[in-house]
Structure 1
Amino acid sequence: MSWTVDEQLALTATEAVSAIQSGRLKATDYVATLLARAAALSTLNALTALNTEGALEAAQRIDALSVDEKRRLPLAGLPIVVKDNINTAGLQTSAGTPALENFIPSTHAPSVQKLVDAGAILLGKANMHELALGITSTNLSNHAGPVRNPYNPAMIPGGSSGGTAVAVAARMVPAGLGTDTGGSTRIPAALTGIAGFRPSVGNGGDQRRYHDTNAVVPISRTRDTVGPMARTVADVALLDGVVSGDGPLPGVALEDLRIGLPACCWAGLDHGLETVARGALDRLKAAGVTFVDIDMPDLFALSDQISFAVALHEPLADLPAWLIANEAPVKTVAEVAARIASPDVRAAYEAILADALGPQYDVAMSTLRPLLQRLYATTFSGNALDALLFPTTLLPAVPIDALNGSSQVSINGGEPMDEMAAFLRNTDPASVAGIPGLSLPAGMTQEGLPVGIELDGPTGSDRRLLAIGVAFEQVLGSLPAPML
């Protein structure tokens, strides 16, 4: 059959794979359409590199397979983008920072390799907040530039995986990979109207779902993880199944679910965002979901004592380990820091080099983090909860600060507060504890900006959490495409 450009751009990942496997759509035609889309929308600064020749060659190899051969590839012909801090063989991995702008790894990160082995096609590398240390994706290095929200290009898309989110939301690709340390797959997913997943990390060993050690430019071995992003939760689950090796999602009945609403995560919200989020709650209640109001009064205070003590100390060991293991052109934290372009990231690296929070690190890891993990575990078990639900962010997208990389924000006309702290408030605790989190679209504000809601589950409940997300998605629907 003949596909129009609009029909191809509208395909979800699952739909695209099905069409290519059956021979109804040629992978080469699909890749060419998406490459043209990416080029036409280059002013959004979503991508730092296009893999034009390699993607077309890979598509030709898919098209040369028989239908049976294609059906044995769960991602046959699926174009994806990969965040620019995740290793990709033959394609730059710069982490959006000048010291690594020409670095090309020799191998794919394990998560990337699993997707490619399943038939995925690497279309390009996605822009990001420099060194992943920010939530705006306003990258001020010369080769990157600020990533722009496709629903309003004057606004941030969230970060640090903003490039992946924008490429997916703007229909350059149906899916991709980001990374998440404090909210970096979930925040941009919420602000651009897509789904973003942070898989379990837990104890970092047998509880870690994705195994990409020394294959991602790091912040923190305790907190970092790769995570899939797509326009539907079902597509996120498709990629997660390939990376993890898990089978189909378990069945979920909405009327059997008990979902906790932590009061602290529903406080202090932007009024327009809260209206959308509570409207989504009402629709889910009407569909049969049981919601339980719960109190976690110590959640933010406990998480805050751990969060930056870990994120600003572990780079001192973790970044050099990646640089050396990957034979990067520089070998020390100081060499990377000396060339940082974004003022907010430079300030963070000054604190890292001074090890300003080093004295707090041992207590954070040995005592406080186990307390936080216990708080989550007892909240889930003590209330017989399947998951927690809350708005992913306190407010929708805000204007880009093209001078500083991040800025201050005001919620409902209140006192200005740190932009990063505001956007991280609801996502950060789950990251610190290592539990899985999923952001999915809840609707749009009157100003036309997307709003996301987040589901958090117990460590190791990833496939069930995704199944709940799919069930919620069937009630809430998807957002209209941005008008580009």
Structure 2
Amino acid sequence: MAWTVDEQLALTACEAVAAIQAGKLRATDYVATLLARAAALSSLNALTALNMEGALAAAQRIDALAPDEKARLPLAGLPVVVKDNINTADLQTAGATPALADFKPKTNAPSVQRLLDAGAVLLGKANMHELACGITSTNFAAPGPVRNPYDPGLIPGGSSGGNAVAVAARIAPAGIGTDTSGSNRIPAALTGCVGFRPSVGNGGAERRYHDPQALLPLSHTRDTAGPIARTVADAALLDAVITGDTAQPSVTLAGLRIGLPAPLWDGLDASIEAVARGAQRKLEAAGVLFVELGMSELMPLNDRTTPITAHETLADVRAWLVANDAPVQTVEELALSIASPDVREIFAAILADPFAPLYQSALTTWRPQLQQLYATTFANERVDALMFPTTILPATPLDDIRGSSVVSLHGQMLDTMTAYLRNTDPSANAGLPGLSLPAGRTADGLPVGIELDGPVGSDRRLLAIGSAFEQVLGALAPPII
């Protein structure tokens, strides 16, 4: 059959793979359509590099396979975008910063390699907040700030903003970003996508995605790659390929117990609260039982873990530069060419390392207490997951002069990063899996995300719960571009 452009753009990742495997859609045609889409929407600045020749060549190899060979590839012909801080051998891994422009590591990150081995096609590298040090994706280096497809004058969230915009704008059906404190979930929420942060726990066997020295880092304790897609099923598909865990737990909404942590529902923007409470009512009508949780210690404990990332960045970035034979070998050299004013300030603080004296207590005292709070809550309250708005306010105006450094909430001016990270940071600190999915849109038409957090290791069940919620809440209409 002949597919129209609109029909191809509307395909989810699962639908695209099924069509290619069945011989109903040529991977070459699909990739060509998305490459043209990327070029037409270049003003959104979603990508730092487009893999024109490589993507078409990879698609041609998929089309040349016998039907049974295609059927054995779980991602046959699926175009994906990969965040610019995840190692790829054929395209740059620059962290969207000038000192690493055009730098290509020798090998792909293991997570990326597993996608490619499963038949995925690398469409391009996704733009981001420079060096992942922010949540707006207002990048002052080329190609410039990432723009929200629902309103190009607004931020898309970050730091994986390019991934989310590429997926939301139908440039790609799915991709892989990174999440340290909320960098997958925040942009997913602000652009109407699904963002998944897999379990990290205390590292080792608890870490779901293993990409040693393959992510330009912020914190080895907290960093992880993770999928961004348009549906929970698509995120689960990528997760299964990367991990080999294809479990599909059965979830019945009737009687499902979901906790509502009070600190993460407090002080919300009115438009966010209206959509989130509306989603809660729909889920209650479907049989979900919501349990109000105090968790008064959550934010104080989380605040005491701040020194972990602040201290680890210096040594971790240096180690990545050396291990990957980057064109600069020290953080000092890297910092000299940082283009974004807010990131320059952060790296000046990183080099001073003021949190070093507090690091050990944050890592060995306060973080374990935060983890214990979550574990006790899940066990004592018998909740299957926690639910709350991913962000406390919707997308706000993009400021490409000052870098979107402050936002207004309830008549007060707040630090943008602090405001947007409020709800996503605690579970990231604790190493839990977190899933943001669309809850609806505000009266102004802006996407709102709802997050589900589960115990460490409950990733596939969390995805199954998210999929069941998605059936109730419905999909968002795509942006009109």
When the two structures are superposed, what TM-score results if normalisation uses the length of structure 2?
0.99
Q: CA deviation at 1:405?
A: 2.1
Matched with 1:416 is: 413
Matched, 1:300 2:269: no
Equivalent-residue separation in structure 2 for 1:198 and 1:173 (angstroms): 19
Q: CA deviation at 1:438?
A: 0.3
Q: Deviations over 1:157-184 (max 9, x none)?
A: 0000000000000000100000000000
The one-letter code of the counterpart of 1:354 is A
The one-letter code of the counterpart of 1:42 is S
Unaligned runs of 5+ in 2: none
Equivalent-residue separation in structure 2 for 1:314 and 1:216 (angstroms): 14
Q: Secondary structure at the match of 1:442?
A: strand
2:382 to 367, 372, 384: 384
Matched with 2:464 is: 467
Q: CA deviation at 1:381?
A: 0.4
1:442 to 424, 428, 439: 439
Q: CA deviation at 1:312?
A: 1.4
The one-letter code of the counterpart of 2:133 is L
The one-letter code of the counterpart of 1:12 is T
Matched with 2:222 is: 223
Contact 1:342 1:404 in 2 (8 A): no
Q: CA deviation at 1:374?
A: 0.2
The residue correspondences of 1:88-127 to structure 2 (distance < 5 A) are: 88-127=88-127
Equivalent-residue separation in structure 2 for 1:273 and 1:78 (angstroms): 33
Equivalent-residue separation in structure 1 for 2:348 and 2:380 (angstroms): 42
Matched, 1:165 2:138: no
The residue correspondences of 1:224-243 to structure 2 (distance < 5 A) are: 224-243=223-242
The one-letter code of the counterpart of 2:464 is A
Superposition RMSD in Å: 0.7
Matched with 1:48 is: 48
The one-letter code of the counterpart of 1:394 is I
Matched with 2:39 is: 39
Q: CA deviation at 1:215?
A: 0.3
Q: CA deviation at 1:401?
A: 1.3
The one-letter code of the counterpart of 1:449 is L
Equivalent-residue separation in structure 2 for 1:316 and 1:128 (angstroms): 20
Matched with 1:451 is: 448
Q: CA deviation at 1:248?
A: 3.2
Equivalent-residue separation in structure 2 for 1:380 and 1:403 (angstroms): 44
Equivalent-residue separation in structure 2 for 1:331 and 1:305 (angstroms): 31
Q: Deviations over 1:330-381 (max 9, x none)?
A: 1111111111111111111111100011111010001010000000000000
When the two structures are superposed, what TM-score results if normalisation uses the length of structure 1?
0.99
Mean Cα deviation higher: 427-436 or 244-253: 244-253
The one-letter code of the counterpart of 1:315 is T
Contact 1:312 1:348 in 2 (8 A): no
Q: CA deviation at 1:411?
A: 1.4
Q: Secondary structure at the match of 2:283?
A: helix
Matched with 2:475 is: 478
Equivalent-residue separation in structure 2 for 1:106 and 1:118 (angstroms): 20
Equivalent-residue separation in structure 2 for 1:295 and 1:84 (angstroms): 39
Contact 1:91 1:104 in 2 (8 A): yes
Q: CA deviation at 1:404?
A: 2.5
Equivalent-residue separation in structure 1 for 2:402 and 2:463 (angstroms): 36
Q: Secondary structure at the match of 2:439?
A: strand
Q: CA deviation at 1:144?
A: 2.6
Equivalent-residue separation in structure 2 for 1:230 and 1:79 (angstroms): 12
Equivalent-residue separation in structure 1 for 2:166 and 2:238 (angstroms): 16
Q: CA deviation at 1:311?
A: 1.3
Matched with 1:335 is: 333
The residue correspondences of 1:156-235 to structure 2 (distance < 5 A) are: 156-235=155-234
Contact 1:435 1:458 in 2 (8 A): yes
Q: CA deviation at 1:249?
A: 1.4
The one-letter code of the counterpart of 1:306 is T
Unaligned runs of 5+ in 1: none
Q: CA deviation at 1:77?
A: 0.3
Equivalent-residue separation in structure 1 for 2:235 and 2:301 (angstroms): 30
Equivalent-residue separation in structure 2 for 1:75 and 1:340 (angstroms): 36
The one-letter code of the counterpart of 1:256 is G
The one-letter code of the counterpart of 2:181 is G
The one-letter code of the counterpart of 2:473 is L
The one-letter code of the counterpart of 2:59 is A
Equivalent-residue separation in structure 2 for 1:397 and 1:406 (angstroms): 11
Equivalent-residue separation in structure 1 for 2:235 and 2:332 (angstroms): 37
Q: Secondary structure at the match of 1:256?
A: coil
Matched, 1:80 2:80: yes
Matched with 1:252 is: 251
Identical aligned residues as a percent: 69
List structure 1 runs of 4+ shifted beyond 3 angstroms. none
Q: CA deviation at 1:406?
A: 2.9
